[in-house]
Amino acid sequence: GVSLSWLETGEGEMFTTLPEHMLENLAATYHLDQMDMKIIRDFMELPAEERQVIKKFLQGLVKEKEEA
């Protein structure tokens, strides 16, 4: 389910589709609930630019926590 273009260039969407079994494996391994899975699904479906904005925001939160 990984995009060949993304693997070769790093551009575009990482996954052509997000197979449900991948989420089920994550959920079982990390004890995810339905909200966790929805967040992951929604994040993976965002364009790369929007994912980058969210990652920068989360990095800021982690940095604030580490400094506290």
Locate the domains of the chain by residue range. 4-67
Q: Tell me the per-residue pLDDT of 20-68, one tens digit each, with 9 for 90 and over.
A: 778 888 899 999 999 999 999 899 889 999 999 999 999 999 988 888 7
Q: What is the mean pLDDT of residues 12-21?
A: 72
Rounded CA gap, 23 and 39, in Å? 11
Residue 17 has pLDDT above 70, yes or no: no
- Segment (H or E) for 16: none
Using an 8 Å Cβ cutoff, are 31 and 23 in contact?
Answer: no
